[in-house]
Structure 1
Amino acid sequence: MTAHQFHPTILREYDIRGIVGHTLFPADAYAIGRALGVLAAETGEKTAVVGRDGRLSSPELEAEVVRGLMDSGCAVRRIGCGPSPMLYYAATVSGTAVAVMVTGSHNPPDHNGFKMMRAGKPLFGAEIRRIGALAAAGFPENASSGTVSDWPVFADYTDRLVQDWDGGGRPLTVVWDAGNGAAGQVMTALSARLPGRHILLNATINGTFPAHHPDPTDPHTLEQLIAVVRDEGADLGIAFDGDGDRIGVVDGLGRILWGDQILQILAEDVLRQRPGATVIADVKASQALFDEVRRMGGQPVMWKTGHSLIKTKLAETGAVLAGEMSGHIFFADRWYGFDDALYAAVRFLGIIARLSEPLTARFDRMPRWVNTPELRFDCPDEQKFAVMTAVQAALEAEGAEMSLVDGVRVSTPDGWWLLRASNTQAVLVARAEAPDQAGLSRLMAALTSALERAGVRAPDLPV
């Protein structure tokens, strides 16, 4: 038996992720392939699909995953370089036992990792920990003999994206920014088949990300997109993260629409066709979103942050649409329920092309609260959950009105504040929202007080 130990930091809640050459190595990729082969066998069918992003380390890591899967006796199909949703699509339509995407997502160029599926569902949490246990126990020296073939799914995936275009007669001018990430080639092919004028930025896949970091939740990464939207008089701009599963949007004035605002526009359109349907958002989303979904006749559900958790909840509840503040958007209305920023772009652009007003006017009509950005501050892994337990106990003793879906989200006459422990980093995450600045200041003071009572000094939280 050949045993393998992973660096303790890389087995995360939603994926496996580390720094190449420091905490993540090709031997890890091989062990992941061997472990996934075990999981595939338990489904009764040793089949696998593998994809990769454009990072410099991805070809070697992908080759080792494939080798590990083959040594476990799997029939492996390689889809090559592309966005994570293309891998999800391939796995879904083929019904493969396991699927793995080699990607560092929106992390720096020297990072990489693995997003995985089993039997059409996201592989996360306890199953990722089981991969670690299987590797530690060891794999047989006598490897099985699997097979490998190439599967050029790019054209099928692009065709399927275009199939759901439902825009009106108003041609749009759209600026697209792939950030040199894995969505670039699909973005180019997709935009060429949509009506209107399309201006493409950073469409060439380049694992060093020379233009800017590929993370549309960071306003600095949208500066180039905003400038071109304004210069070209475009209707809007669309941005993608490094592996194409998260979307960013700016309107014609260059104003950023955050994940819950994008979801509000999508929900309005979906609920017009599917009245009473369930729409899910994570605990960091604005109260305005939940109120608007209810007003539009939908059933809003607040759920835990994390793309795997949201995806699973969507399947459990039969929801038609879900989203996160991070820009993950999940359609189960005419789509397959996984997060796909390219598909979300098609649906979003179709809505805007059918509107009787520009996106800027629709944005102006949105109900708005005053809120903080996501506030993240260091807290050791061995302390963060104990802090949350202490905060929750103190709030319960006070009789506070709160949701415990993910951390604590406390509601007061001023609005709400949230505190949760990150599942992927040694940090606590906070956010607050109120109808006005005075209310927001009181909420932040209450959050600071709750932390201090739990023995944590909140570092420079705005009040």
Structure 2
Amino acid sequence: YNGFKMMLGHGPFFGQDIKDMAKTPYNRTKIIEGGQQIQLDIQDAYLHRVLEGLRLDTKLSIVWDCGNGVAGPVIDKLSKSLSGEHEVLFTDVDGNFPNHHPDPTIEKNLETLITRVKKRNADLGIAFDGDGDRIGVIDDLGKILWGDQLLAILAEDVLLEQPGSTIIGDVKASQGLFDRITALGGKPLMWKTGHSLIKNKMKEVNAPLAGEMSGHIFFSDRYFGFDDAIYAAIRLIDVINRQGKKLSTIRSALPSVINTPELRLPCEGKNKFSMIEQVKEILRGYKDVEVCDIDGVRVSSKYGWWLIRASNTQEIIVARCEATSTEYLENIKAQLKEILQRIQLPYPPF
């Protein structure tokens, strides 16, 4: 699923736009002869911009895991410009990824970072994906801070400066995120998963901040409204400096919930979207639940919620459960299991 992310002006270009472009006859395309190629090193200008106006005179101890992705050279230079103590791992850009796959949403890929944070007694660890637009965070206790938890912490800082503004989370995010935004005086908005969909919604509702469980964090507050994991990392450092607390302490203010990891259920040879429609039909007979169908189906009650949706990029169905207690979580998992059985998808143990 490698390819291009297209932009048109200041907005994403995706979905039907790309299909329409592909139908354009080649004889209507104007060929321009005699162009030139210019190479620019923008690292210094980029770092100057992302550091602009932030409080980064820090004594923090930070471990950075670049995962042999493109963020490596930039983080190597950034760490030398910041105060505090820094250990930078895997900065050489290597598409073979000799140390681990650069996906910060997979716990196995964060094992080295967690080990280094604990060994150094560091204040936090920060990991990046291969192209530097997704972030993973480890707190001072060596625990993973998931995308929705990170968004909740960043939202508090943004809402101090822009009270009452809209903060967007994707449909996979914890209810704790949306409750936290409300408690902080913001307007939570649940939206479809997908970076282009999120960016468009941000522009539509003028949201200063948005994020996904996958670690995409989008700032239009003092930034450009796209997902830049290096900038998100710097904003997190700024928050920790501003509050003067350990990251684990800041995290403890978030609502307490229990959830499952994201389940990825293969459905090759089946129409994943028609399966979601089957689920919607089944749910017509359910009572005392709230159904959100903006992206798949998210079924909520006062005890928690479960989600089932079709992946935008792979032949899989994605599912997740969350509850306010272990007992309630088992009940919600049982509901999900029943639904999966009725649409003939295997229910994995979790």
Q: Assess same fold via TM > 0.5.
A: yes
Count of residues paired in the alignment: 348
Task: Choose the corresponding residue for 1:248, options 129, 136, 150.
Answer: 136
Tell me which of 271, 280, 303 is aligned to 2:191.
Answer: 303
Structure 1 runs, 4 residues or longer, greater than 6 Å off: none
Question: Is 2:317 the counterpart of 1:445?
Answer: no
Q: What is the aligned counterpart of 1:183 among 46, 71, 94?
A: 71
Conservation of the 8 A alpha-carbon contact between 1:174 and 1:234 = yes
- Alpha-carbon distance in structure 2 between the residues aligned to 1:313 and 1:381: 32
State, as a whole percentage, how many aligned pairs show the same letter.
Answer: 49
Q: Which residue of 2 aligns with 1:165?
A: 54
* Whole-angstrom distance in 1 between the partners of 2:27 and 2:61: 54
Aligned equivalent of 1:74: none
* Counterparts of residues 304-453 of structure 1 (less than 5 Å): 304-380=192-268, 382-399=270-287, 400-453=289-342
| Contact 1:170–1:354 (Cα < 8 Å) also in 2 | no
Distance 1:375 1:192 in 2: 39
CA distance in structure 2 between the aligned counterparts of 1:251 and 1:437, rounded to whole angstroms? 24
How far residue 437 of structure 1 moved from its aligned partner, in angstroms, is 1.2
Q: 2:265, 2:345 within 8 Å by CA — same for their partners in 1?
A: no
**Counterpart code for 1:184:** G
Q: CA deviation at 1:128?
A: 2.4
Equivalent residue, structure 2, for 1:38: none
CA 1:126/1:141 → structure 2, altered by over 3 Å: closer, same or farther?
closer
- Conserved? CA contact 1:280–1:322, under 8 Å: yes
Equivalent residue for 2:164?
276
* RMSD (Å), alpha carbons: 1.8
Alpha-carbon shift at residue 461 of structure 1 (Å) = 4.4
Task: Give the Å deviation of 1:195.
Answer: 1.8
The one of 120, 131, 134 equivalent to 2:10 is: 120
Per the normalisation by structure 2, the TM-score is: 0.95
In 2, the alpha carbon distance for the partners of 1:375 and 1:231 equals 31
Contact 1:239 1:249 in 2 (8 A): yes
Mapped to 1, the partners of 2:258 and 2:13 lie a distance apart of 36
Match of 2:154 in 1: 266
Letter of the aligned partner of 1:405 in structure 2? I
Structure 2: segments with no counterpart, 5+ residues: none
String of CA shifts for 1:63-117, please: whole Å, max 9, x gaps. xxxxxxxxxxxxxxxxxxxxxxxxxxxxxxxxxxxxxxxxxxxxxxxxx422221
Task: Verify the 8 A CA contact 2:58 2:82 in the aligned structure 1.
Answer: no
Could you say which residue in structure 2 is the equivalent of 1:456?
Answer: 344
**Aligned with 2:20 (options 111, 124, 130):** 130
TM-score where L is the length of structure 1? 0.72
Which of 229, 234, 251 is the matching residue for 2:117?
A: 229
Change in 2 beyond 3 A, CA 1:382/1:128:
farther
Unmatched segments (≥5 aa) in structure 1: 1-16, 18-111
Confirm or deny: 8 A CA contact 1:213 1:221 kept in the other structure.
yes
The answer on whether the counterparts of 1:444 and 1:461 sit within 8 Å (CA) in structure 2 is: no
